[in-house]
Structure 1
Amino acid sequence: MAAEFSRLTGKYQATVPANVRRTLGVGAGDRLAWVVEGDTVALRRAGPKDEDFAAAVSATLGEWATAEDEAAWHDLWCR
């Protein structure tokens, strides 16, 4: 398997190489899913289930956004 490379811009954007776009069958406007497992990230085309999950979770994201919550999470994740 050959590696494909792109550069991250100052706005934290990257171009998806043409071979990867063809493999995934994606084009402009399509949504991508980034799957993080440990220190590995997989990229795949987002499907309807991904969209439904994101919509369901997005309403709850502000619930844990206080300074106290950040401090508590910091202690759990930054050990």
Structure 2
Amino acid sequence: MLQTSKLTTKFQTTVPTRVRKILQLKAGDMVGFEIDGNEVRLRRATPLDLAFTQALEGTLTEWSSKADDRAFKDL
């Protein structure tokens, strides 16, 4: 079954009720996006996902300049 949601001008969206129920999401929960080629899956993020993401954050500073912000602002 396809569930849809509209993006705002800030690229935000509401997770449909059925999806929230299936993933048992509540306000404040984190979600993960699994990317496989052109396919993306949404899932509830686990503590391990969050720890991995936090460990990577400090290694990605090469893309944190004002020039990068300007170059990628429309993505």
Band the TM-score falls in, shorter-chain normalisation: 0.7 to 0.9
RMSD: 1.7
Note the C-alpha offset of 1:53: 0.3
CA–CA distance in 1 between the matches of 2:49 and 2:63? 23
% identical equivalent positions: 39
Scaled by the length of structure 2, the TM-score of the pair is 0.82
- After superposition, give the CA deviation of every residue in 1:31-64 in whole Å (9 maximum; x if it has no partner): 00001101100000000110100110001110x3
Say how many residue pairs are matched: 66
CA–CA distance in 2 between the matches of 1:19 and 1:66? 36
User: Which runs of 4 or more aligned residues in structure 1 lie more than 6 Å from their structure 2 counterparts after TM superposition?
Assistant: none
The runs of 5 or more residues in structure 2 that have no matched partner are 69-75
The runs of 5 or more residues in structure 1 that have no matched partner are 71-79
1:22 aligned counterpart, secondary structure: helix
Identify the residue that residue 73 of structure 2 maps to in structure 1: none
Scaled by the length of structure 1, the TM-score of the pair is 0.78
